[in-house]
Structure 1
């Protein structure tokens, strides 16, 4: 809409034009019918100008809104692209974590199996050592 100053200026100008038409009509320079027709024409012309200004202002607002929407859409597109990249990285990382977990489980299984074998071997060695000690005791007793 127009500012109050612009509206006041238009109202004053319109009043002056009507006053001039009235003076011309009273002095006989213009017939009263022609003065009324000119006043009606000027009123229609000012209404048309007002509508044109209003439409231009609304068009400007619509254009600014359209620019904002395009800017936001561009930002959303960039965000979506960034999210897709992050999602692919997360997929790669989760696959690497799963692979690492699988390797760790295999390593733990191998370590536990190795420990079990060592324990069995240690028990066998302990039995052999116990047998050797018993044999040494017997040899000592025989010497004495």
Structure 2
């Protein structure tokens, strides 16, 4: 596609040549000055339309490229969103597993502590019983002697 600069560099010599030919035709009295002015105005309007068309086509091409980039970024965003949802699902599963594990550990620790507490209570009761038996044995031993 021609750029506006290339179009101008190509059209400028052609326009100068066309104006020169029109000037020669007017000087040779082959066409009137009004017809030459009308032809010049027509050439200028055609050049402006060509420049406008070229500019519109370039803008449309840029808009199309921007649209393609946006679609590419939207597709990447959709893939990223899907990946994030997958990761979020996995994290939810992991969080639930960690919570379940923590609950099991808390239950196990509670059972261990309860068991230790029961053993301690039982040991204290037995220690009292043993102490009472010792006192009885001492008392019996003192009574015999």
TM-score range with shorter-chain normalisation?
0.7 to 0.9
Over aligned residues, Cα RMSD in angstroms?
2.2
Residue in structure 2 matched with residue 41 of structure 1 by the alignment: 42
Structure 1 residue 23 displacement after superposition: 0.7
Using structure 1 for the length normalisation, give the TM-score: 0.84
Residue 74, structure 1, aligned to residue 75, structure 2 = yes
Q: How does 1:7-26 map to 2 (within 5 A)?
A: 7-26=8-27
The SS at the match of 2:4 is: coil
Aligned partners of 1:93 and 1:127: how far apart in 2?
Answer: 50
Q: Which has the higher contact order (CA 8 A, sep 6+)?
A: 2
Structure 1 residues not aligned, in runs of 5+: none
**Cα-to-partner distance string for 1:99-128 (whole Å, 9 max, x where unaligned):** 122112211221121112111110121012
**Cα-to-partner distance string for 1:40-63 (whole Å, 9 max, x where unaligned):** 332222122111111110011101
Residue in structure 2 matched with residue 103 of structure 1 by the alignment: 104
Aligned partners of 2:94 and 2:139: how far apart in 1?
Answer: 66
Q: Which moved more, 1:25-34 or 1:64-73?
A: 25-34
Residue in structure 1 matched with residue 132 of structure 2 by the alignment: 131
Count of residues in Structure 1 that have an aligned counterpart in Structure 2: 143
Aligned partners of 1:80 and 1:9: how far apart in 2?
Answer: 51
**Cα-to-partner distance string for 1:29-85 (whole Å, 9 max, x where unaligned):** 444444333323322221221111111100111011101111111121112112111
The SS at the match of 1:28 is: coil
The SS at the match of 1:60 is: helix
Structure 2 residues not aligned, in runs of 5+: none
Residue 61, structure 1, aligned to residue 62, structure 2 = yes
Using structure 2 for the length normalisation, give the TM-score: 0.84
Aligned partners of 2:116 and 2:14: how far apart in 1?
Answer: 105
